[in-house]
């Protein structure tokens, strides 16, 4: 593999003595969009959370091209359900910078610019809780992007959105990918994966079943589970 960003070596995650993910061994390159796919309960969210450091690995290793601490300082995570704060849209987006000690004025200025990139300029003074579902997700994305992450994790970012909002989110992701941000995300939307993914990691029952380029995965899946999934069949 050329320029691996991270390598997972026999990684397992357990809860209550039960293995929920793993053992998984794989490498992820340092550019493009990796899409984690698989049926409900496959372990997609848990894997993303482990990569971001939100879940403790029970055994095995995650090795990074640079120190995990250094890279995690340049990561961001967007959850399926946006986390809301009792703040205006502007101050919600600015919050990560305030945590880093950036002055209120500078943080707000940068937040306004970031809101512009996701189409929320006219909503800046609104209370975050009054936004529509699509607007809340765009706000969460802006809040993640304001720190200029090198690596962005997204867990089903458009799962609860309508077609227009989904398209807008995808346009934003395409733009930031072109700017060099590495993206690792999960989705149930096969069409979305076809549009965005450079490679696919397919999981089933917590195990890695298949890893391939997007073209290879969708044109000729190598596993019965991936084939059934793409056909809309029940995966067993």
Higher confidence at residue 118 or residue 2?
118
Q: Which two tokens stand for residue 131?
A: 């936004």
- CA pair distance 110, 20, nearest whole angstrom: 40
7, β-bridge pairs: 27, 63
- CA pair distance 142, 176, nearest whole angstrom: 11
Is residue 2 predicted with pLDDT exceeding 60? no
Between the alpha carbon of residue 38 and those of residues 8, 123, 169, 193, 219, the distances in Å are 19, 35, 21, 11, 17
14, β-bridge pairs: 19
Q: Rounded to a whole number, what is the distance in angstroms from the first to the last CA of the chain?
A: 31
- CA pair distance 11, 64, nearest whole angstrom: 14
Stated pTM of the model: 0.91
Question: How much is the average pLDDT of 79-92?
Answer: 88
Tens of pLDDT, residue by residue over 28-59, are: 888 899 999 999 999 999 999 999 989 999 99
Q: Which two tokens stand for residue 20?
A: 């929920």
In the DSSP assignment, the letter for residue 80 is S
Between the alpha carbon of residue 89 and those of residues 68, 112, 114, 126, 170, the distances in Å are 31, 9, 11, 6, 21
Asked if the bond preceding 23 is cis, omega within 30° of 0, the reply is yes
Question: How much is the average pLDDT of 77-102?
Answer: 91
Element containing residue 196 per DSSP (H, E): helix 190-196
User: What pLDDT score was predicted for residue 1?
Assistant: 42
User: What pLDDT score was predicted for residue 3?
Assistant: 57
CB-count burial class (<10 Å; 0-12, 13-18, 19+) for 130: exposed
Tens of pLDDT, residue by residue over 153-178, are: 999 998 878 888 889 889 999 999 99
pLDDT category of residue 66 using cuts at 50, 70 and 90: confident
User: What pLDDT score was predicted for residue 83?
Assistant: 81
User: What pLDDT score was predicted for residue 192?
Assistant: 95
Ordered DSSP codes for 140-160: HHHHHHTT--SEEEEESTTTT
Range from 21-25, 63-67, 94-98, 218-222 carrying the lowest mean pLDDT: 63-67
Element containing residue 23 per DSSP (H, E): strand 18-29
pLDDT category of residue 229 using cuts at 50, 70 and 90: very high
> Under DSSP, is residue 10 helix (H, G, I), strand (E, B) or coil?
strand
């Amino acid at each position: 593999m050329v320029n691996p960003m991270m390598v997972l070596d026999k990684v397992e995650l357990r809860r209550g003595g039960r293995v929920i993910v793993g053992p998984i061994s794989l490498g992820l390159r340092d550019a493009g969009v990796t899409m984690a796919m698989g049926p409900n309960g496959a372990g997609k969210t848990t894997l993303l959370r482990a990569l971001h450091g939100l879940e403790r690995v029970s055994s095995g290793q995650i090795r990074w091209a640079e120190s995990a601490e250094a890279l995690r300082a340049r990561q961001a995570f967007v959850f399926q359900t946006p986390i809301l704060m009792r703040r205006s849209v502007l101050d919600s987006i600015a919050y990560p910078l305030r945590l880093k000690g950036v002055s209120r004025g500078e943080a707000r200025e940068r937040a306004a610019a970031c809101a512009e990139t996701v189409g929320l300029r006219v909503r800046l003074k609104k209370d975050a809780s009054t936004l529509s579902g699509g607007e809340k997700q765009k706000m969460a994305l802006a809040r993640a992007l304001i720190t200029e992450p090198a690596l962005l994790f997204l867990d089903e970012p458009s799962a609860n959105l309508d077609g227009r909002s989904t398209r807008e989110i995808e346009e934003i992701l395409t733009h930031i990918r072109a700017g060099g941000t590495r993206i690792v995300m999960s989705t149930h939307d096969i069409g979305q994966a076809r549009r965005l993914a450079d490679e696919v990691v397919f999981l089933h029952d917590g195990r890695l079943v298949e890893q391939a380029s997007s073209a290879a995965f969708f044109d000729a899946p190598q596993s019965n589970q991936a084939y059934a999934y793409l056909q809309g069949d029940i995966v067993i």
